[in-house]
Structure 1
Amino acid sequence: MFDELLGRASLKDRIAELEDENERLRKRYEAESERRADAATARQDAEERLNRLEDRIAQLEGELERVEEAETGMAVRHREQLRGARLESVLDRLTTFRTGPEGALTVGVDRDGLSESTRGELESVLGDRVALVDDAAPCLCCVDDAGLLAVTLAPPVVPDQDATWRDRFALEREWFLPTGRHAVALVRTDLFALGVYEGADRVDYRGFESDVKGSHSKGGFSQARFERIRDGQIDDHLERCRDALAAYEPGGEAADMPLSLVGQRGIVDALVEESSLEPAATAAVDATGDPKPALEDAVRSFWTTELRVL
């Protein structure tokens, strides 16, 4: 009776209703957490299966390539990863090569392989070995009309070079070697490193690491919570990276400086998509360790050209 007189009865009823609603929300939250945990576990299992399948595909492709080479007798005569002084030496040899007028062909080959018109030109010199050019794509192909010299080169970024017949190969050193003032940024889920270079010499540097949780093997609510925390940490890290690269966006103070963005492919792509960056090049590189040595490894990997002698 006193509760009714003092208005406490309605308050108690309201409290009971809110407690019931709170219980329903708690159960709903726990169910959603379990669902997210199951989804995260399923995603991890799928990623592991995908990685195993990709490894198996790579293994089978290698076996297939060896079988095809055994059957056809076609294989590159020499393959080498070129960088630094060795790369400069090889480029010097190629750029000093001379023939008669329209005796040296240079052509850029994209990921889809040779165009039909260029294939016909190369087949007259290489015959069936033109298939080795498709295998090297994307690349630059240099062939002389006598078949004395036939190579492919895969620089950091293959230029859009139309088939060009001249008395020498149409090669530009900046396609292969760092020249002028430029920047290279390395981005991982937990790391950022940016170097400004004059040619091959680094003249400025900035780097940092972010606290991002690693993998998690437990199931249930703890895993769902772990996934949310980790995703948030990666988002925060990418925001720091965007801030560090803001000067290289259109209108920024360093917008005129060529920027190459390298690192984990998914992170690099996300950073480009979520900003107004227009990098001169992007590349997936495997660079581990602390920011400064990791950047050195990434730059060395990025400025590497694969040479194949056909």
Structure 2
Amino acid sequence: MNNQKKTAHLNSLIGKISGKQKLEKQIDEMQSYIMELEVESQKLQRRLEKKEKNTKRAISEKQEAEEKLNAANIKIETLQNEIESLKEEMNNLQDIKFRNIEILYPSKIQNWLLKIQSMRSNDDSLITVYLKPGDLLSNLKNPNRILDDIDEKTQSLLAKIESFTGCILFYDTDSVICEVIVPPFPVRESKWEIGKDFQIEQLKTILEQDFKICILQAHAGESFVGIANTGEFENYRIIKSSVKAKHKKGGFSQKRFEELRNEDISHHIEKVQSEYNKVMDGIENEVDYIIVGGDRELTRLVLKDLNHNLPVIEKPMDNKIEKYNLNNILKNALSCRRYQI
């Protein structure tokens, strides 16, 4: 026992002297630190793997977004080009004008009709289109066929025509003739035909009908109301009033002057309405149309307070109102307008 104690004591002494215990402690500490590093390394590895997955997904999403962006940019560029083309086309259409516009009086329209009626073609190339007031080519039966045959210039100009009576198109697909007639009285049925000649029967019917009409032409201070039938006036009134001219200076005097002018115009409107009631007394049921012209705003003011249910046809009539000029007023009311395209 004494020897064993001595040996243990000696070993302890040697260990202390050699630093063995200190080294063992350091080893334990290092192993513990290594384990912590391994745990941290595993955490970092998992984070790295997750980050790599996120990065791959982000790259994939970025590529997808870039593809969509490129597709959107291409679409935008395409649409911009289409818009520019449409703008250019619209500008070109706006620059298109009628080759000629003229008034065809009753005596002249018959000669024009004979020429249209005499036209013939060896194939189905002559198109006749009747449009009621407010109707468009697209409203016709089978519009795609007719729209394919009529060029865009003609379609554009036809849409520009303002008419209370509709219009009639005579169109040759070989571009020999392209004309539009606005008749004096309304087209009753919208239709189209294509054949070896033009269809003028409905137009002839319109021109040959014997309507009783009231003609109203209004101007500030000078207006006309008349009843016509079978190409002559049965009764008429020429209404004249003193209406001040427009004031050209500014200031208070202009305001007062305009008030007095408006009073004169109101008084003139009342006189025209009174004369209208006189010429229409007892015969309103016999009248088919009121044809109006002159100052459009003034004419509408005259009609506004009149108790009537008659169809109104507005025309660009601006004849001098005198007794010797009555025939011209009637001719203008019964005239057609011709548009050459």
Return the TM-score normalized by structure 1: 0.61
Q: Which of 75, 83, 86 is 2:105 aligned to? A: 83
* CA offsets 1:126-149 (integer angstroms, 9 cap, x no match): 344543433446422234788776
Residue in structure 1 matched with residue 63 of structure 2 by the alignment: none
Distance 2:255 2:284 in 1: 41
Residue in structure 2 matched with residue 292 of structure 1 by the alignment: 323
Structure whose residues are more often helix by fraction: 2
Task: Sort the Cα spacing of 1:179 and 1:95 in 2 relative to 1 into closer, same or farther, 3 A.
Answer: farther
Distance 1:256 1:112 in 2: 28
Distance 1:113 1:171 in 2: 18
SS in 1 for 2:271: helix
Give the partner amino acid of 1:134.
A
* CA offsets 1:122-181 (integer angstroms, 9 cap, x no match): 234334454343344642223478877643112245425311438733423464578343
Residue in structure 2 matched with residue 222 of structure 1 by the alignment: 253
Task: Sort the Cα spacing of 1:246 and 1:149 in 2 relative to 1 into closer, same or farther, 3 A.
Answer: same
Q: Which of 257, 261, 264 is 2:287 aligned to? A: 257
Distance 2:92 2:186 in 1: 24
| Mapped pair 1:162 → 2:190 | yes
Distance 2:119 2:206 in 1: 18
The root-mean-square deviation of aligned C-alpha atoms, in Å, is: 3.9
Contact 2:129 2:168 in 1 (8 A): yes
| Mapped pair 1:121 → 2:145 | yes
| Mapped pair 1:274 → 2:328 | no
Residue in structure 2 matched with residue 133 of structure 1 by the alignment: 158
Q: Tell me the CA shift for residue 274 of structure 1.
A: 1.9
**Aligned length in residues:** 241
Distance 2:324 2:231 in 1: 15
Comparing 207-216 and 141-150, the one that deviates more:
141-150
Residue in structure 1 matched with residue 226 of structure 2 by the alignment: 195
Can you give the 5+ residue segments of structure 1 that lack an aligned partner in the other structure?
A: 1-63, 70-74
Give the partner amino acid of 2:158.
V
Return the TM-score normalized by structure 2: 0.56
Can you give the 5+ residue segments of structure 2 that lack an aligned partner in the other structure?
A: 1-90
Comparing 134-143 and 212-221, the one that deviates more:
134-143
Comparing 91-100 and 264-273, the one that deviates more:
91-100
Q: Tell me the CA shift for residue 222 of structure 1.
A: 2.9
Task: Sort the Cα spacing of 1:136 and 1:270 in 2 relative to 1 into closer, same or farther, 3 A.
Answer: closer
| Mapped pair 1:106 → 2:141 | no
Q: Tell me the CA shift for residue 218 of structure 1.
A: 3.5
SS in 2 for 1:172: helix
Contact 2:150 2:173 in 1 (8 A): no
Residue in structure 2 matched with residue 142 of structure 1 by the alignment: 170
| Mapped pair 1:183 → 2:214 | yes
Larger Rg: 2
Percent identical: 16
SS in 2 for 1:255: helix
Task: Sort the Cα spacing of 1:180 and 1:127 in 2 relative to 1 into closer, same or farther, 3 A.
Answer: closer
